[in-house]
Amino acid sequence: MDTGTHVVMGLAIGGIATLDPVVAQSSATATSVMIGAVVGSQIPDIDTVLKLRNNAVYIRNHRGITHSIPAVLLWPLFILAVIYPFFPEANLLHLWIWTFLAVFLHVFVDIFNAYGTQALRPFSSKWVALGIINTFDPFIFGIHVVGLFIWAFGAHPGYTFLMIYCIIVMYYLIRFQAQRSVLNAVKTIVPDATEIIIAPTMRFNHWRVAVMSKHQFFVGRAVKNHVRILDQFNRVPVPETPVLEAAKKDKNLSAFLSFSPVYRWEVDEYDDYYEVRFIDLRYRSNGHYPFVAVVQLDRDLTIQSSYTGWIFSEEKLRKKLDILPG
């Protein structure tokens, strides 16, 4: 989920914690639990700072080890080590319980996005992405904000957010059913599909669709369970040519390939260099595929420039690569 939604979820956990008699009876425990819940709801995304290095490092590591099973267990202990000295009267066990719940909830809800997490590490490095909730879901964020206003006007925060979370659970079940309807519709259109990726958007009934069959890729959109195929590509295996083998050694392309399950590739030859481009097919927007990895190599197959990330115009891509076509 996005940062704002994680923040309001942390506040909600702090509100629900008031139902805990130990928390309710101690102002030190209540205050430290609220701080622990808010920090715990954010800390797994500390790996966002990797963007300051480069996109390749960020793509390889975001929602990786910081969202893993060991991290979920260790983050609460780290937070307690920082918070508890300021609140020595707080109940340590209950502070840990609610902080742990906030950390766990952060990782748990991220599983339902299309991006997903490596939440099963160290047992598996597979990305777990159920793809039923958009990274920013207006309903989930909005109902949390409503709950905070109700709390501000004097309602009991524990019962308020307990009721809100019951509604959210029902919302998740509705989203599961909606995605299932789209999946069945896709199977009707592409009966020989070997893999189907359905990703939510900010609009409730609108979905992105990427499909692989043995010989083709299909990219489309769905409104409710009506699926429209917008693009179709032949599925051509990546050949083991000298140019592509050299390009695969680049850190940006390597990071892209570690993350993207559905992509097509292109190789262009210019007067004095080659350009290799890999294009993720999951994120079609206005006829454009903005998530790419591009590598430029000279005639000796030495990498001259590369980039991976979101690009919405060729001009911006050229600026990122800092090499103009010959």
Classify residue 124 by burial, with Cβ atoms within 10 Å: 0-12, 13-18, 19+: exposed
* The residue to which tokens 């680049």 are assigned: 250
Q: Give the tens place of pLDDT for each residue, 8-54.
A: 999 999 999 999 999 999 999 999 999 999 999 999 999 888 777 77
- Residue 206, both tokens: 């609108």
Contact 276, 244 (CB under 8 A): yes
d(CA 238, CA 226): 32
d(CA 262, CA 219): 10
Res 268: pLDDT? 92
Give the residue among 83, 4, 87, 68 at the shortest CA–CA distance from 41.
Answer: 4
d(CA 106, CA 103): 5
The CA-atom distances, in angstroms, between 118 and each of 66, 123, 124, 293 are 9, 10, 8, 22
Contact 18, 30 (CB under 8 A): yes
Q: Rounded to 5 degrees, what angle do the CA atoms 281, 286, 291 make?
A: 35
The dihedral built from the CA positions of residue 51, 1, 194 and 192, taken in this order, carries a sign that is: negative
Which residues does residue 226 pair with via DSSP β-bridges, in sequence order?
223
Stretches in the chain below the pLDDT threshold 50: 324-326
Strand pairing report for 216-223 and 226-234 = antiparallel
Long-range (24+ apart) CB contacts under 8 A made by 260-268 are 260/291, 261/195, 261/197, 262/195, 262/197, 262/210, 262/212, 262/217, 264/217, 264/233, 264/235, 264/236, 265/236, 265/238, 267/241, 267/243
Res 324: pLDDT? 39
Give the residue among 43, 26, 121 at the shortest CA–CA distance from 81.
Answer: 43
CA 11 to chain centre: 21
Crossing angle of helices 3-16 and 157-189, rounded to 10°: 140
Give the residue among 230, 220, 173, 170 at the shortest CA–CA distance from 199.
Answer: 220
Secondary structure string (H, E, C) spanning 146-163 = HHHHHHHCCCCHHHHHHH
Q: Give the tens place of pLDDT for each residue, 182-217.
A: 999 999 999 999 999 999 999 999 999 999 999 999
Give the residue among 291, 244, 285 at the shortest CA–CA distance from 263.
Answer: 291
- The domain segmentation of the chain, as residue ranges, is 3-136, 191-233, 242-321
Which residues does residue 307 pair with via DSSP β-bridges, in sequence order?
294
**pTM for this one?**
0.88
Give the residue among 102, 98, 89 at the shortest CA–CA distance from 33.
Answer: 98
The CA-atom distances, in angstroms, between 293 and each of 86, 149, 175, 180, 324 are 47, 44, 32, 31, 16
- Residue 18, both tokens: 């008031």
